[in-house]
């Protein structure tokens, strides 16, 4: 186990210690495009929330390299158990930004029919399992899914994402211990962004690093510069290949920083020194990757502007489309509960229709969003 910080692009005063991964120019540019799109989505979605057009949002500002770089090392058949700060994974795996926005609006086109909180995506077509609000839930789920694939002799892996705060959850211990004992093909990605809402890292663990915790579970632990998308990809690619050939799980700690608040309901200025944000802003993952691409003659100014313009237009069209769709029909609350609607549900639906007809329940009233 080596806990040296893995770096490809390097940083001011910190030389790179890992060679660049072998990725084709089109793959590198696609990763960059998704990072830009994720950043722009964050900006627009936070504004939509402030304008009262959506109820809630969780920004990924500053963490684009961490989750997009890891996801780029997967295949379409691998299973993803994300956290709520990882929208770029879905975008990289082919989900349109309009589908994410349908979910944020909770309209009738939303795959979950408005039943989930905003930013709690679920996309069966890309094997992305529903995001959960309870801390650490997805860790044990991913370990179980990975074990199922091992039993079935499927050559796939499961990957799960969580913050430094989640390492204090019961599911962290249960998931890593289970995967370690049974050599399940699971990749655990701890996106260490320094804060669990308002609790700083030093209030979360007495361990020198999060990656060091891997030793207790009998698996490799690696630390990677989470703002270096190529370093993140390289570390994940190695872990995925190990898991795919039966060598078990890996814990990856990506060192990054949450530039925004925990969510649209949080004011980070109440507990965080703004000078720290200024330091991390100089290590912006998109700016670093852009400079690297330009240095390799893979990205030109006009090309970069075209990417940004295309992303802006995609977002505009997606917002327009999402806002034209009405809320789910009231009757949908009885769908997908059981394989076949029960007699009790039929009675409840009849009672609700009568209440709506008499005006006891206001049509279209959803109440205030709780957060």
Distance in angstroms (rounded) separating the CA atoms of residues 61 and 138 = 22
DSSP assignment letter at 193? -
The residues with which 192 forms a beta bridge, in sequence order, are 255
Scored b (16 or more CB within 10 A) or e, 12-46 reads eeeebebeebebeeeebbebbbbbbbbbbbbebbb
- Please report the DSSP string for 252-301 in residue order: EEEE----S-SSTT--GGGTS-HHHHHHHHTT-HHHHHHHHHHHTT---H
Per residue, the 3-state secondary structure of 301-324, as one string, reads: HHHHHHHHHHHHHHHHHHHHHHHC
Distance in angstroms (rounded) separating the CA atoms of residues 324 and 134 = 32
Instruction: Determine whether 288 is an active site residue.
Output: no
Contact 313, 96 (CB under 8 A): no
Element housing 131 (H / E):
none
Instruction: Determine whether 244 is an active site residue.
Output: no
Out of 39, 102, 156, 262, the active site residue is 262
Distance in angstroms (rounded) separating the CA atoms of residues 160 and 136 = 10
Out of 67, 127, 258, 288, the active site residue is 258
**Phi and psi angles of residue 91, each rounded to the nearest 5 degrees, phi first:** -65, -40
Contact 191, 163 (CB under 8 A): yes
Instruction: Determine whether 258 is an active site residue.
Output: yes
Contact 68, 88 (CB under 8 A): yes
DSSP E strand stretches across 126-261: 158-163, 186-192, 195-196, 199-200, 221-225, 250-255
Give the tokens for residue 49: 């929330």
DSSP E strand stretches across 125-185: 158-163
Out of 271, 310, 338, 366, the active site residue is 271
Residues with catalytic function:
258, 262, 271
């Amino acid at each position: 186990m080596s806990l040296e910080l893995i770096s490809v692009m390097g940083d001011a005063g910190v030389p790179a210690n890992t060679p660049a991964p072998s990725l084709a120019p089109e793959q590198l540019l696609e990763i960059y495009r998704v990072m830009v799109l994720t950043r722009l989505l964050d900006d627009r979605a936070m504004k939509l929330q402030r304008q009262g057009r959506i109820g809630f949002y969780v920004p990924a500002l500053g963490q684009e390299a961490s989750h997009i770089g890891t996801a780029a090392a997967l295949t379409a058949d691998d299973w993803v158990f994300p956290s709520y700060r990882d929208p770029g994974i879905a975008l990289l795996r082919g989900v349109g930004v309009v589908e994410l926005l349908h979910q944020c609006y909770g309209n009738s086109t939303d795959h979950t029919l408005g039943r989930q909180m905003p930013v709690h995506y679920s996309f069966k077509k890309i094997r992305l399992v529903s995001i959960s609000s309870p801390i650490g839930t997805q860790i044990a789920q991913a370990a179980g899914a990975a074990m199922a694939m091992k039993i079935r002799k499927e050559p796939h892996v499961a990957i799960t994402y969580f913050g430094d705060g989640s390492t204090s959850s019961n599911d962290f211990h249960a998931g890593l211990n289970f995967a370690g004992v049974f050599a399940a093909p699971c990749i655990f990605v701890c996106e260490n962004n320094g804060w669990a809402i308002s609790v700083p890292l030093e209030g979360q663990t007495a361990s020198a690093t999060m990656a060091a915790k891997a030793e207790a579970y009998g698996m490799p632990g690696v630390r990677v510069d989470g703002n270096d998308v190529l370093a993140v990809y390289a570390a994940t690619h190695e872990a995925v290949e190990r898991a795919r050939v039966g060598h078990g799980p890996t814990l990856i700690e990506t060192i990054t920083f949450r530039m925004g608040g925990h969510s649209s309901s949080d004011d980070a200025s109440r507990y965080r020194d703004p000078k720290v944000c200024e330091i991390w802003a100089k290590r912006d993952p998109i700016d670093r990757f852009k400079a690297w691409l330009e240095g390799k003659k893979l990205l030109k100014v006009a090309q970069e502007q075209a990417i940004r313009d295309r992303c802006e237009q995609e977002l505009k069209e997606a917002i327009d489309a999402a806002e034209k769709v009405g809320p789910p029909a009231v009757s949908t609350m009885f769908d997908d509960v059981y394989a076949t609607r029960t007699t009790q549900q039929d009675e409840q639906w009849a009672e609700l229709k009568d209440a709506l007809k008499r005006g006891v329940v206001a049509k279209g009233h959803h109440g205030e969003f709780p957060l």
